[in-house]
Amino acid sequence: MLNGKKIIEIRKTGFVNKGAELMLFAVLEKMQQSYSDAKFAMVPSSSISHAPYTRRAKLGLYQKPHLLRREGKFDWIWYLLPKNVRDMYGVVLNREVDVVMDAAGFAYSDQWGTVSCLELAVSCKQWRKNGTKVVLLPQAFGPFKNWLNRKAIKIAFDHADLVFARDKISYDYLVEVVGERPNLKLAPDFTNLIDGVVPDSFDKSSNRFCIVPNYRMVDKTSKVASEAYLPFMIEVTRYAYEKGQKPFILVHEGANDLMLAEEIRNAVSAEIQIIKETDPLKIKGILSVSSGTVGSRFHGLVSALSQGVPALATGWSHKYQMLFEDYGFPEGLLEVTMSKNQIHSKLDLITNEATKLDISNKLKINSIRMKSEVEGMWREIIETVNK
> pLDDT digit string (tens) for 173-210?
999 999 999 999 999 999 999 999 999 999 999 999 99
Question: In sequence order, what are the residues at sequence separation of 6 or more whose Cβ sits closer than 8 angstroms to the Cβ of residue 331?
Answer: 324, 346, 349
Of 79-88, 93-102, 376-385, the one with minimum mean pLDDT is 79-88
Model confidence at 385, in pLDDT bands (50, 70, 90)? very high
As a whole number of Å, the CA-based R_g of the chain is 21
pLDDT tens profile 51-82? 677 888 888 899 887 644 444 455 567 778 88
pLDDT tens profile 352-374? 998 999 999 999 999 999 999 99
Q: What is the pLDDT of residue 68?
A: 47
Of 18-22, 83-87, 314-318, 362-366, the one with minimum mean pLDDT is 83-87
Assess whether pLDDT exceeds 70 at residue 45: no
10 Å CB burial of residue 180 (0-12, 13-18, 19+) is exposed
Check residue 166 and report its DSSP letter: S
Residue 276: what residue type? K
CA distance 210 to 364: 19
Q: What is the pLDDT of residue 142?
A: 95
Q: What is the pLDDT of residue 48?
A: 42
pTM over 0.85: yes
Please state, rounded to an integer, the average pLDDT across all residues of the chain. 92
Of 63-72, 123-132, 156-165, the one with minimum mean pLDDT is 63-72
Q: What is the pLDDT of residue 355?
A: 96
Question: In sequence order, what are the residues at sequence separation of 6 or more whose Cβ sits closer than 8 angstroms to the Cβ of residue 369?
Answer: none
Assess whether pLDDT exceeds 80 at residue 271: yes
What fold, for 209-369?
Answer: Rossmann fold (3.40.50)
- Report in angstroms the alpha-carbon separations of 49 from 52, 67, 68, 212, 253: 6, 20, 21, 22, 12
Q: What mean pLDDT comes out for the span 133-145?
A: 97
CA distance 273 to 280: 18
What fold, for 7-192+371-386?
Answer: Rossmann fold (3.40.50)
Residues 9, 64 contacting (CB under 8 angstroms): yes
Model confidence at 308, in pLDDT bands (50, 70, 90)? very high
For 259-370, strand residue ranges (E) read: 274-275, 292-295, 311-313
Is the model more confident about 54 or about 386?
A: 386
Asked if domains 7-192+371-386 and 209-369 share a fold, the reply is yes
Model confidence at 113, in pLDDT bands (50, 70, 90)? very high
3-class DSSP assignment, residue 210: strand
Q: What is the pLDDT of residue 85?
A: 84
Q: Where are the domains of the chain?
A: 7-192+371-386, 209-369
Assess whether pLDDT exceeds 90 at residue 163: yes
pLDDT tens profile 237-260? 999 999 999 999 999 888 899 999
* 25-54 as b/e: b if 16+ CB within 10 A: bbbbebbeeebeebbbbbbbbeeeebbbee
Q: What is the pLDDT of residue 87?
A: 83
